[in-house]
Amino acid sequence: MIVALDVHYFNEGALHADPAYAIAAAVGFQDWRSSEPIETWTARVENIEPYEPGKFFKRELPCLNAVIEKIDYPVGCWIVDGHVWLDNGQPGLGHYLHRTFKHPWPVIGVAKRAFRDGGQAIEVVRGKSKAPLYVTSIKCNPDGAADFVRKMHGEFRIPTMLKLVDHLCRGLS
């Protein structure tokens, strides 16, 4: 199984305030071309860490781990909304997630924006979009990871399963 992960923060109406809670979501699917999930999971997380530039993982990892704990399937690969590697080989969210695992599962980061100079990200253009996705990985060949994202179901820039996990954490599905 492949599992896509995402988190959305809610501040209950206070503009620019620290979030009151987050919803982490996970979507499990059979293979890269799957159009339907096998199962979905969500977790509400309270007491969110404040945003700290360059240390996004501190805020995001507890949320991701809360939803990962609910998954009772063997997982072959994780996809995270974000970067595995930042500029100059510095670790990103996906790298820190990988370090939390007891087993060396591959993690693929799919980001909508390049991190500063693009770092090690491979640009993947999907559908008729001119805007690329930025793919990084750990324990998965970078070109192979980019090819997996390219093959994912959906005719638009954002693959179907990644759009679904985004909608789940936002409460839209």
Q: What is the DSSP secondary-structure string of 94-126?
A: HHHHHHH-SS---EEEEESS--TT-TTPEEE--
For residue 131, what are the CA distances in angstroms to 126, 150, 167? 8, 13, 20
Least confident of 29-43, 93-107, 135-149: 93-107
CATH number, position 137: 3.30.2170.10
pTM reported for the whole predicted model? 0.93
* Residue position matching structure tokens 């370090």: 99
Q: Residue-wise over 80-119: b if at least 16 C-beta within 10 A, else e?
A: bbbbbbbeeeebbbbbbbbeeeeeebbbbbbbeeebeeeb
The sign of the torsion formed by the CA atoms of 172, 127, 35, 104 equals: negative
Q: Which domain holds residue 113?
A: 2-170
Q: Which residues contact 154 (CB under 8 A, 6 or more apart)?
A: 35, 126, 127, 160, 161, 163
pLDDT digits (tens, 9 = 90+) for 136-156: 999 999 999 999 999 999 999
pLDDT at 172: 86
Task: Give me the number of domains the chain comprises.
Answer: 1
Least confident of 9-18, 55-64, 77-86: 9-18
pLDDT band of residue 157 (cuts 50, 70, 90) is: very high
